[in-house]
Each structure stands twice: as C-alpha cells, then as structure tokens.
Structure 1
Amino acid sequence: MIRPTNLTNTLMLMLLLGTSATLAGALGMLLMSSVVVAVYGACIGPLRSRLSGNNLMLASLLLAATLTSCANILAQRWALQWQQSIGIYAGLIALQCVVLEYNGFFGQAFGLRLTFFVLSSGLLLALAVLRELFGQGHIGRGLSEHWQGLVLLSDGLHLLTLVPGAFIVLGLLLAARQAWTRSTALSKETHHP
C-alpha cells in the first residue's frame, strides 16, 4: 500500500526532473498526467474484478498506453510548442499508471489518493518554480505569449535548468525537509531532570 508520506516506488524521478525545468512545462505535465491517471483509475476498476495476474497487467499496460497516446495527440493539437519540448516524457505517464496499479494505489481510500496527489504535485511545482527562478531569473515566462513573466533576477544560474541542476535542487529540498522534520521532532521531546 502507498502511504502519503512514503513516495518511494511511485515517484517517477525522470518525469519529475525532466518536466520541471519551467513552470509552464510542469503545469502542463501535471494537467496531462492528472487527467490520464484519473481516467485510467475509472476505467481499470471494472476490469480489476474480471481479470487477474498477467491478464490484468497486460490490460493495465494497454489501457495506460492508449490513454497516454490519446492525451499526447490532444496536446499536439492544442499545445504543439509545449508538446514538442515536454512530450518526450509523456510516455512515462503510462508507466506511472502501471506502477500505481501494481502498488495498489487505486484500491486505497480517496483521501489517501488525494493526499498523495497533493504531495507529488506540490513537489513538482516547487521544483519547477525554484529551477525557473534561479536557473533563468524569472517565473512564468512560458505561461502566456502576451505575458513576459515575473522577472526577479537579471540572470540565472543556467546549470539549474539542466537535469544535473534538477538533482541539486531536489537534494536541497530533501535536505530542507529533513532539517524541518528533525527540528520539529527535537522540539517535541521533553527533558526531565
């Protein structure tokens, strides 16, 4: 079972790091993956009771690949520029669906699934904002063709827009989370003389 605080085995690191270079890319991938995972969850439910073992895995794989391909075609139709820059990662959404199915994600209570979605979406958006802000010096430039974004720095650190920079930012976020939880745990301890 997937717990909301335990993102291991389901966090698609390549999808997270590859699509978080810009806020526009992260928002687009978040929208696309949310729709595909939600439709997949609704469609696989009736099949789960009729199939088992390898047949269920094959049906899961075919359904996820079909839904992801349809979403990718729709992205080509309505957002070609975004799809060309981020579309290479779209196929990983199908893998994400299969991994979630294999780990029992769709059998959990709605509250646990929603918590997991909020945590993983928050991580993706936080990583995208930090990478775009410190890597390019602005936030939201690609969200609209008429809006130039919010410029906060004159120049950014280009390394952060690349995948190695994404590893650095992710490592810093994980270190900050570890420091936060450790300081919270230490403040809860009581000392008795």
Structure 2
Amino acid sequence: MNKSWLAALSLAPLLGATQTLLQASVMAGLTLSAVLAHLACMTPLRRWLDEAASEVSSILLAATLVTCQTLALHAWGLEARNALGIYPELIALQCLLFEQSLGKTEQWRRACALLGGFCGLYLLLGTTRELLASGTLHLTSISGPDITGLRLASLAPGALLLLGVLLALIKRACPKQATPDREGNS
C-alpha cells in the first residue's frame, strides 16, 4: 500500500478521537503501545520472512494487537470504548505506517521521534479542542465536552481546521528550510 494513503488514513483517529484531553490521552497510549509492540515483534520476524510474507504477517500482527486492545477496552474501560467509537481499530493502519516508515534500515530513532511527535499531536489537539469547545479541561469524564464555546471545535471538520492552524504555528515557531524536492520543484 502507498505510504501517502496510509498517512491519510491515519488522520482519522487523530481527528475523530480527540474531542477531549482524556480521549486523546487514551488514543495516544493505545497508539504508542500498539506501534511499539508491533515494531518489537516484527523486527526479528523480518529476518526469516521474504517480502510478501513479511507484509502479510505485519498486517495480521497489527490486526491482532489492535483487537486485543479493543477487547481490553471492552473489559476494563467500557466508557472509554464507547466514547472512542471505531477509532481504536484504526490504530492498525498506524502500525503499518510506522512499519513502512521504518523500512529495512531499522531506523529506530527516526521511528520513535515520529511516534512521539504523533502522540504529542494527539495531546495538543485534544487539549486545544476541549478548551475551545467547553472552556475548561474535564479530566473526570471521557465523553464529549459540554459545549459552551466554539461548537466547530468539537466536530471533526473543526479538528481538521485546528490541526492545520496548529501545524502552521509549529512550522512558524520552528522554521526549517525545506529541501528542494519537498518544495515541489522538479
């Protein structure tokens, strides 16, 4: 599968399951544990499997890990499971994305930095959305915020707009020159 499709599909949990800081922290924890477990299990398997078998085993392992997480949420965190909807299952796509970004070179530092940034983005987006929608952080209830402020912030399209604004602010605060191939020049 194309890396850009996986990256686009991994935005769904980021935008849909970050209405509150608590939802964002649960999703960040689930993502962190699933991706690290997936990478730790796939690293020794890659030596013994050819490319096609490695891809199939990666997909099966990601689905297995995410299913186990979902069953654990059903057993011990039903309120969180109901509030998050279908988004925990989409973490399997993020496992595949990190597997492809790591590649054959096993660049653990780059993968961990990317994963840390992704989890930080979860928390930043969840905090900002909850503050804009309700004005305060409610750390006791995982369900959606009581909307007293900006209603758009609690909806997924508002999350996409807010993500664009946050990424623009981050880029503005940390300016780095793009390489010519990233600027669109041929």
Q: TM-score, normalised by structure 1?
A: 0.78
**Structure 1 position 140, deviation (Å):** 2.9
When residues 105 and 161 of structure 1 are mapped into structure 2, their CA distance, relative to the original with a 3 A threshold, is farther
Q: Report if the CA contact (8 A) 2:6-2:93 is conserved.
A: no
Residue equivalent to 1:164: 157
Residue equivalent to 1:188: none
Query: What does 1:15-34 align with in structure 2 at a 5 Å threshold?
Result: 15-34=13-32
Report the RMSD for the aligned CA atoms in angstroms: 2.8
**Structure 1 position 178, deviation (Å):** 3.2
Residue 135 in 1 paired to residue 133 in 2? Answer: yes
Runs of at least 5 residues in structure 2 that lack an aligned partner in the other structure: 178-186
Tell which has more relative contact order, 1 or 2 (C-alpha 8 A, sep 6+). 2
Measure the CA separation in 2 of the matches of 1:72 and 1:91. 7
Give the ranges of 4+ consecutive aligned residues of structure 1 lying more than 2 Å apart after TM superposition: 7-11, 102-114, 140-144, 177-182
Residue identity opposite 2:172 in structure 1: A
Q: TM-score, normalised by structure 2?
A: 0.81
Measure the CA separation in 2 of the matches of 1:113 and 1:57. 18
Q: Identical aligned pairs, as a percentage?
A: 32
Residue equivalent to 1:189: none
Residue identity opposite 1:81 in structure 2: E
Residue identity opposite 1:127 in structure 2: L
Q: Report if the CA contact (8 A) 1:10-1:100 is conserved.
A: no
Residue identity opposite 1:135 in structure 2: A
Q: Report if the CA contact (8 A) 1:105-1:113 is conserved.
A: no
Residue identity opposite 2:84 in structure 1: I
Q: Secondary structure at the match of 2:149?
A: coil
Residue 180 in 1 paired to residue 173 in 2? Answer: yes
Runs of at least 5 residues in structure 1 that lack an aligned partner in the other structure: 1-6, 186-193
Residue equivalent to 1:64: 62
